[in-house]
Amino acid sequence: MVKNPIKIADPKAENKLLLKDFKFSVENFINSDNYVNHDYIKKLEETWAAFTGLKHVCFVSNGTVALQLAYNVALRRLHANHEPVALLIPENTYHADLSAITWAGYAKGINNKIYAYDYKLGYETNNILYNEVSETKIIFNVTHLYGIPIPEHFITKTKNNLLKSDFKKRSIVIVEDCSHAHYSKVPLVGDICVWSCYPTKVLGALGNAGIIATNDDELAFYIKMLINQGEAPGIRYNPMVYGTNARGDALQAMFILEKLKHKDRVIQHRRSIVEQYESLSYSNKVTTLVNNDTTCYYVYPITVSSNKIRDQVKSELAKQQIETGIYYPVKMSNIANKLANLPSSGSFQGDNLLCLPVHLGMTTEDACQIRHALLPILDRLGR
Ligand SMILES: Cc1ncc(COP(=O)(O)O)c(C=O)c1O
């Protein structure tokens, strides 16, 4: 049993460390009398652009809205109403991606098809990416789950293969979901990149917040209009498209800016926790997905030999006050069939996965204790 309960995420503990800085900035904010368009937003967008190297960065209300905007402009580019569009999506991901594309109008198209893939199976064995996609219009979602980057060569190889796999003229838009991967070295090869800044994320706000970014001028032009009631810059009350209000909250931008000042300390702390887990990979009882080349600061995923053992491990750790997470328990192909009534085909290797906590509210000793708690449980359960 650990001394204090360890949660899978602990935004309260993290935010309390910055209470003084937050208080000072909130006071400035209140006195500014500019609550919607406060400079905090522009400053965050500029900081993010410098940080990622992406040209157009927009701070928006949350990660799901960022995805809705991304799919809306992707479908606009692919002229979705005229031809079927294939969606390639990881079988194991958060269902916000599926909901978002449906909200953006995807399910209305006839003959749209979802292909669920698993990049861990490797490129050549991933039949879906290799052989099966027959549509000429494709949206390719890549999500860097757990903060572990999907290798860039996997993404570009898949894209190139899809482009040259027959004589039809194909168009692909890549939507890259980096919500788990703040600070990780992700490829950022997406036509559009999206971050959720939900409070539990590595760079979480203190409420809902999200970011959408692109290097593509045309996509950026539409994204910016959609965020702001469909109005082009400087032209009020005469919208060019049906838009929405997806503007991010200035106070949340401020919280994120304050947190960015402590980036190095946060990475170092999370890294030292991950190091405690790394020796698990020498045990023959678990497989870790993290290798030395990858950076992972969100949660620490391990796999065991079966679904049943995974659930037993989870409940035994819970008895010792250690919370773990299952990201995610339901396959995308099942959700696609249920929610959107869209046909899908999929392959999946991630059923036995369990995530261990990595955050500022825990110490390296906590991580060491988790490791010591885990191994005897696995011994007993027979791996
Ligand atoms: C991978 C991924 N995509 C999208 C989202 C949706 O973001 P939000 O909760 O900010 O709407 C999340 C949030 O948990 C996520 O983990």
- Judge contact between 128 and 121, C-beta under 8 A: no
Q: How far is the CA of 285 from the centre of ligand 1 (A)?
A: 31
The 10s digit of each residue's pLDDT in 282-334 is 777 788 877 766 677 899 999 888 889 999 999 999 999 999 999 998 888 88
Instruction: Confirm or reject: Cβ of 201 under 6 Å from ligand 1.
Output: no
pLDDT at 349 over 60: no
Instruction: Confirm or reject: Cβ of 68 under 6 Å from ligand 1.
Output: no
The 10s digit of each residue's pLDDT in 134-144 is 889 999 999 99
pLDDT at 367 over 70: yes
Q: How far is the CA of 164 from the centre of ligand 1 (A)?
A: 32
What percentage of the chain exceeds 70 in pLDDT?
91
Q: Which residues of 285-309 are buried (b: 16+ CB within 10 A; e: fewer)?
A: bbebbbeeebbbbbbbbbbbeeeeb
- Judge contact between 229 and 243, C-beta under 8 A: yes
Instruction: Confirm or reject: Cβ of 196 under 6 Å from ligand 1.
Output: yes
The 10s digit of each residue's pLDDT in 95-137 is 999 999 988 888 766 678 888 888 877 666 665 666 788 889 9
Banded model confidence at residue 274, pLDDT cuts 50, 70, 90 = very high
**How high is the pLDDT of residue 348?**
54
Backbone angles phi, psi at 123, to 5 degrees: -65, -50
Average pLDDT over residues 210-220: 98
Rounded Cα–Cα distance for residues 97 and 100 (Å): 5
Q: Fold identical between 16-259 and 263-381? A: no
Would you give the distance in Å from CA 126 to the centre of its chain?
22
Instruction: Confirm or reject: Cβ of 243 under 6 Å from ligand 1.
Output: no
Banded model confidence at residue 167, pLDDT cuts 50, 70, 90 = low
3-state secondary structure (DSSP) of residue 223: helix
Q: How far is the CA of 193 from the centre of ligand 1 (A)?
A: 13
* 263-381 has CATH 3.90.1150.10 classification: yes
Angle 237-239-242 (CA atoms, 0-180°, nearest 5)?
130
Could you please state the CATH topology (level 3) that the domain comprising 16-259 is classified under.
Aspartate Aminotransferase; domain 2 (3.40.640)
Instruction: Confirm or reject: Cβ of 179 under 6 Å from ligand 1.
Output: yes
Average pLDDT over residues 183-187: 88
Atom of ligand 1 nearest to the CA of 145: 1
Rounded Cα–Cα distance for residues 29 and 39 (Å): 10
The 10s digit of each residue's pLDDT in 6-29 is 999 999 999 999 999 999 999 999
Instruction: Confirm or reject: Cβ of 94 under 6 Å from ligand 1.
Output: yes
**How high is the pLDDT of residue 330?**
86
Which alpha helices (DSSP H) does the chain contain, by range?
11-16, 19-32, 39-52, 63-78, 96-103, 127, 152-164, 217-227, 250-260, 263-278, 307-319, 332-335, 364-381
The 10s digit of each residue's pLDDT in 229-273 is 999 999 999 999 999 999 999 999 999 999 999 999 999 999 999
Average pLDDT over residues 142-169: 87
Rounded Cα–Cα distance for residues 81 and 164 (Å): 24
What percentage of the chain exceeds 90 in pLDDT?
65
Atom of ligand 1 nearest to the CA of 208: 10
Q: How far is the CA of 205 from the centre of ligand 1 (A)?
A: 13
**How high is the pLDDT of residue 96?**
95
Rounded Cα–Cα distance for residues 236 and 216 (Å): 24
**How high is the pLDDT of residue 79?**
79
Q: How far is the CA of 177 from the centre of ligand 1 (A)?
A: 9
Angle 336-341-346 (CA atoms, 0-180°, nearest 5)?
40
Select from 67, 93, 99, 196 the residue to mutate for testing ligand 1; criterion: most ligand atoms less than 8 Å from CB: 196
Average pLDDT over residues 177-190: 93
Atom of ligand 1 nearest to the CA of 64: 11
Q: Would the CA dihedral through 163, 166, 171, 172 be positive or negative?
A: negative
Q: Domain locations in the chain?
A: 16-259, 263-381
Q: How far is the CA of 293 from the centre of ligand 1 (A)?
A: 25
Q: How far is the CA of 327 from the centre of ligand 1 (A)?
A: 12
Angle 238-76-336 (CA atoms, 0-180°, nearest 5)?
125
pLDDT at 78 over 70: yes
